[in-house]
Chain A
Amino acid sequence: DIQMTQSPSSVSASVGDRVTITCRASQGISSWLAWYQQKPGKAPKVLIYTATSLLSGVPSRFSGSGSGTDFTLTISSLQPEDFATYFCQQTDSFPLTFGGGTKVEIK
Protein backbone atom coordinates (compact mmCIF):
# COMPACT_ATOMS: atom_id res chain seq x y z
CA ASP A 1 0.00 0.00 0.00
CA ILE A 2 1.09 3.57 -0.62
CA GLN A 3 1.37 5.45 2.66
CA MET A 4 0.43 9.13 2.64
CA THR A 5 2.05 11.24 5.35
CA GLN A 6 0.65 14.69 5.96
CA SER A 7 2.26 17.47 7.95
CA PRO A 8 1.64 19.26 10.12
CA SER A 9 -1.23 17.43 11.85
CA SER A 10 -2.55 20.80 12.97
CA VAL A 11 -1.78 24.44 12.37
CA SER A 12 -3.00 27.60 14.09
CA ALA A 13 -3.35 30.57 11.81
CA SER A 14 -5.07 33.91 11.51
CA VAL A 15 -7.34 35.27 8.81
CA GLY A 16 -5.15 36.54 6.00
CA ASP A 17 -2.26 34.18 6.74
CA ARG A 18 -0.64 31.99 4.13
CA VAL A 19 -0.95 28.32 5.07
CA THR A 20 1.01 25.44 3.56
CA ILE A 21 0.23 21.76 4.09
CA THR A 22 2.51 18.99 2.90
CA CYS A 23 1.73 15.46 1.80
CA ARG A 24 4.40 12.85 1.12
CA ALA A 25 3.78 9.53 -0.63
CA SER A 26 5.78 6.43 0.28
CA GLN A 27 6.40 5.83 -3.42
CA GLY A 28 5.99 7.82 -6.61
CA ILE A 29 2.42 8.56 -7.63
CA SER A 30 3.12 10.89 -10.56
CA SER A 31 0.45 13.61 -10.20
CA TRP A 32 -2.34 11.38 -8.99
CA LEU A 33 -3.09 13.34 -5.85
CA ALA A 34 -6.22 15.08 -4.63
CA TRP A 35 -6.86 17.47 -1.77
CA TYR A 36 -10.10 17.61 0.23
CA GLN A 37 -11.54 19.98 2.80
CA GLN A 38 -13.76 18.59 5.55
CA LYS A 39 -15.80 20.62 8.00
CA PRO A 40 -17.29 19.12 11.19
CA GLY A 41 -20.28 16.92 10.51
CA LYS A 42 -19.87 17.17 6.75
CA ALA A 43 -18.49 14.94 4.01
CA PRO A 44 -15.16 15.92 2.47
CA LYS A 45 -15.21 18.27 -0.49
CA VAL A 46 -12.62 18.00 -3.25
CA LEU A 47 -10.55 21.11 -3.87
CA ILE A 48 -7.72 19.98 -6.14
CA TYR A 49 -7.08 16.93 -8.31
CA THR A 50 -4.11 15.69 -10.32
CA ALA A 51 -1.97 17.65 -7.84
CA THR A 52 -2.49 21.08 -9.38
CA SER A 53 -5.96 21.25 -11.00
CA LEU A 54 -8.44 23.41 -9.14
CA LEU A 55 -11.98 22.06 -9.24
CA SER A 56 -14.45 24.46 -10.81
CA GLY A 57 -15.94 26.77 -8.20
CA VAL A 58 -13.09 26.42 -5.71
CA PRO A 59 -11.60 29.81 -4.76
CA SER A 60 -8.31 30.66 -6.41
CA ARG A 61 -6.63 31.21 -3.03
CA PHE A 62 -6.27 27.41 -2.97
CA SER A 63 -3.43 25.95 -5.02
CA GLY A 64 -1.61 22.68 -5.26
CA SER A 65 1.88 21.76 -6.36
CA GLY A 66 4.20 18.81 -6.57
CA SER A 67 4.65 15.49 -8.34
CA GLY A 68 6.21 12.14 -7.62
CA THR A 69 6.28 11.85 -3.84
CA ASP A 70 6.06 15.39 -2.46
CA PHE A 71 3.00 17.59 -2.68
CA THR A 72 1.79 20.86 -1.20
CA LEU A 73 -1.55 22.54 -0.65
CA THR A 74 -1.33 26.29 -0.19
CA ILE A 75 -4.03 28.67 0.99
CA SER A 76 -2.70 32.07 0.00
CA SER A 77 -4.86 34.19 2.30
CA LEU A 78 -6.82 32.26 4.89
CA GLN A 79 -10.50 33.14 5.12
CA PRO A 80 -12.90 32.40 8.02
CA GLU A 81 -14.63 29.67 6.02
CA ASP A 82 -11.30 27.87 5.48
CA PHE A 83 -10.98 26.68 9.06
CA ALA A 84 -11.40 22.95 8.56
CA THR A 85 -9.49 19.70 8.23
CA TYR A 86 -7.65 18.97 4.99
CA PHE A 87 -6.83 15.52 3.62
CA CYS A 88 -4.71 14.37 0.71
CA GLN A 89 -5.55 11.22 -1.24
CA GLN A 90 -3.53 9.26 -3.75
CA THR A 91 -5.49 7.96 -6.72
CA ASP A 92 -2.54 6.31 -8.44
CA SER A 93 -3.21 2.74 -7.40
CA PHE A 94 -5.39 0.48 -5.28
CA PRO A 95 -5.85 0.48 -2.41
CA LEU A 96 -6.62 4.19 -2.52
CA THR A 97 -5.17 5.85 0.58
CA PHE A 98 -5.54 9.11 2.42
CA GLY A 99 -3.26 11.25 4.52
CA GLY A 100 -3.99 11.54 8.23
CA GLY A 101 -5.36 15.05 7.92
CA THR A 102 -4.32 18.57 8.87
CA LYS A 103 -6.59 20.61 11.10
CA VAL A 104 -6.43 24.34 10.40
CA GLU A 105 -7.47 26.16 13.55
CA ILE A 106 -8.05 29.78 14.46
CA LYS A 107 -5.09 31.40 16.17
Chain B
Amino acid sequence: QLLLQESGPGLVRPSETLSLTCTVSGGSISSRSYYWDWIRQPPGKGLEWIGSVYYTGNTYYNPSLKSRVTISVDTSNNQFSLNLTAVTAADTALYYCAKTWGWRRPYDYWGQGALVTVSS
Protein backbone atom coordinates (compact mmCIF):
# COMPACT_ATOMS: atom_id res chain seq x y z
CA GLN B 1 0.00 0.00 0.00
CA LEU B 2 1.45 3.31 -1.09
CA LEU B 3 1.64 6.01 1.56
CA LEU B 4 2.38 9.71 1.07
CA GLN B 5 3.28 11.92 4.01
CA GLU B 6 3.77 15.68 3.94
CA SER B 7 6.19 17.34 6.35
CA GLY B 8 7.33 20.88 6.99
CA PRO B 9 6.68 23.98 9.08
CA GLY B 10 3.08 24.78 9.92
CA LEU B 11 3.76 28.51 10.24
CA VAL B 12 5.59 30.69 7.74
CA ARG B 13 6.19 34.43 7.99
CA PRO B 14 4.97 36.70 5.18
CA SER B 15 7.54 37.21 2.39
CA GLU B 16 9.42 34.06 3.42
CA THR B 17 9.59 30.69 1.68
CA LEU B 18 7.21 27.82 2.30
CA SER B 19 8.96 24.46 2.07
CA LEU B 20 7.26 21.09 2.22
CA THR B 21 8.46 17.56 1.57
CA CYS B 22 6.39 14.55 0.60
CA THR B 23 7.85 11.18 1.57
CA VAL B 24 6.62 8.21 -0.41
CA SER B 25 6.62 4.76 1.17
CA GLY B 26 5.39 1.40 -0.04
CA GLY B 27 6.49 2.08 -3.60
CA SER B 28 9.13 3.77 -5.72
CA ILE B 29 8.94 7.39 -6.74
CA SER B 30 10.91 6.34 -9.84
CA SER B 31 8.09 4.18 -11.19
CA ARG B 32 7.45 4.97 -14.80
CA SER B 33 4.17 6.68 -15.66
CA TYR B 34 3.56 8.07 -12.20
CA TYR B 35 3.41 11.82 -11.67
CA TRP B 36 3.80 13.45 -8.30
CA ASP B 37 1.84 16.59 -7.62
CA TRP B 38 1.16 19.31 -5.08
CA ILE B 39 -2.38 20.59 -4.59
CA ARG B 40 -3.63 23.07 -2.03
CA GLN B 41 -6.95 23.89 -0.45
CA PRO B 42 -7.52 27.13 1.49
CA PRO B 43 -9.69 26.54 4.58
CA GLY B 44 -13.30 25.97 3.55
CA LYS B 45 -12.53 26.45 -0.14
CA GLY B 46 -11.83 24.46 -3.29
CA LEU B 47 -8.77 22.75 -4.69
CA GLU B 48 -5.94 24.42 -6.59
CA TRP B 49 -3.31 22.51 -8.54
CA ILE B 50 0.19 23.82 -7.83
CA GLY B 51 2.35 21.64 -10.02
CA SER B 52 3.69 18.26 -10.97
CA VAL B 53 7.03 16.46 -11.16
CA TYR B 54 8.10 13.28 -12.93
CA TYR B 55 10.89 11.10 -11.55
CA THR B 56 13.21 12.37 -14.29
CA GLY B 57 12.86 15.85 -12.83
CA ASN B 58 10.53 17.23 -15.51
CA THR B 59 8.15 19.72 -13.97
CA TYR B 60 4.85 21.43 -14.82
CA TYR B 61 3.61 24.43 -12.88
CA ASN B 62 0.41 26.40 -12.53
CA PRO B 63 1.07 29.69 -14.38
CA SER B 64 -0.63 31.57 -11.54
CA LEU B 65 2.17 30.46 -9.20
CA LYS B 66 4.97 29.69 -11.64
CA SER B 67 7.19 32.64 -10.74
CA ARG B 68 7.25 31.54 -7.08
CA VAL B 69 7.13 27.73 -7.25
CA THR B 70 9.80 25.08 -7.47
CA ILE B 71 9.01 21.36 -7.27
CA SER B 72 11.87 18.90 -7.15
CA VAL B 73 12.31 15.15 -6.78
CA ASP B 74 14.85 13.21 -4.71
CA THR B 75 14.78 9.65 -5.96
CA SER B 76 17.44 8.45 -3.53
CA ASN B 77 15.21 9.33 -0.57
CA ASN B 78 11.90 8.64 -2.34
CA GLN B 79 10.73 12.19 -1.75
CA PHE B 80 9.58 15.20 -3.66
CA SER B 81 9.44 18.77 -2.43
CA LEU B 82 7.66 22.08 -2.82
CA ASN B 83 9.17 25.51 -2.39
CA LEU B 84 6.91 28.56 -2.61
CA THR B 85 8.64 31.91 -2.24
CA ALA B 86 7.40 35.33 -1.13
CA VAL B 87 4.33 33.95 0.62
CA THR B 88 1.37 36.04 1.73
CA ALA B 89 -1.74 35.30 3.76
CA ALA B 90 -3.38 34.14 0.52
CA ASP B 91 -1.02 31.14 0.56
CA THR B 92 -2.51 29.87 3.83
CA ALA B 93 -3.93 26.47 2.96
CA LEU B 94 -3.92 22.74 3.47
CA TYR B 95 -1.20 21.46 1.18
CA TYR B 96 -1.58 17.96 -0.23
CA CYS B 97 0.90 15.82 -2.09
CA ALA B 98 -0.67 13.31 -4.44
CA LYS B 99 0.13 10.79 -7.14
CA THR B 100 -1.40 10.02 -10.51
CA TRP B 101 -0.93 6.70 -12.24
CA GLY B 102 -0.28 8.25 -15.62
CA TRP B 103 -0.62 11.18 -17.95
CA ARG B 104 -4.11 12.65 -17.79
CA ARG B 105 -5.05 10.29 -14.98
CA PRO B 106 -6.57 11.39 -11.67
CA TYR B 107 -5.01 11.23 -8.22
CA ASP B 108 -5.26 7.75 -6.75
CA TYR B 109 -3.15 8.39 -3.67
CA TRP B 110 -3.01 11.47 -1.44
CA GLY B 111 -1.16 12.50 1.66
CA GLN B 112 -3.21 13.50 4.67
CA GLY B 113 -2.43 17.16 4.08
CA ALA B 114 -0.24 19.72 5.85
CA LEU B 115 -1.81 22.93 7.10
CA VAL B 116 0.45 25.90 6.46
CA THR B 117 -0.47 29.25 7.94
CA VAL B 118 1.19 32.43 6.72
CA SER B 119 1.27 34.93 9.56
CA SER B 120 3.66 37.21 11.36
> Which residues of A line the B interface, CB within 8 A?
1, 32, 34, 36, 42-46, 49, 55, 87, 89, 91-92, 94-101
A43 touches B111 (CB 8 A): yes
A101 to B47, CA, bound (A): 9
A32 touches B104 (CB 8 A): yes
Which among B13-21, B23-31, B56-64, B78-86 touches the partner chain? Answer: B56-64
A46 touches B49 (CB 8 A): no
A89 to B64, CA, bound (A): 17
Of all chain B residues, the one with the shortest Cβ separation from A47 is B106
A91 touches B104 (CB 8 A): yes
- How far does the Cβ of B34 sit from chain A's closest Cβ, in whole Å? 14
Q: A43-B113, A99-B46 are in contact. Are A94 and B60 (CB under 8 A)?
A: yes
Assign chain B's interface to a size class: 20 to 34
When distances are taken between beta carbons in the complex, the residues of chain A under 8 Å from B37 are 96
B46 touches A49 (CB 8 A): no
B111 touches A98 (CB 8 A): no
A46 touches B107 (CB 8 A): yes
- How far does the Cβ of B45 sit from chain A's closest Cβ, in whole Å? 8
Of all chain A residues, the one with the shortest Cβ separation from B66 is A95
B60 touches A101 (CB 8 A): no
Other contacts beyond A49-B105, A91-B106, A95-B61: 4, CB < 8 A:
A34-B106, A92-B104, A96-B49, A98-B47
B113 touches A89 (CB 8 A): no
A98 touches B46 (CB 8 A): yes
A43 touches B96 (CB 8 A): yes
When distances are taken between beta carbons in the complex, the residues of chain A under 8 Å from B107 are 34, 36, 44, 46
A91 touches B105 (CB 8 A): yes
- How far does the Cβ of B59 sit from chain A's closest Cβ, in whole Å? 11
B105 touches A44 (CB 8 A): no
A92 to B49, CA, bound (A): 13
Partner of A100, one of B46, B62, B108: B46
When distances are taken between beta carbons in the complex, the residues of chain B under 8 Å from A43 are 96, 98, 110-113
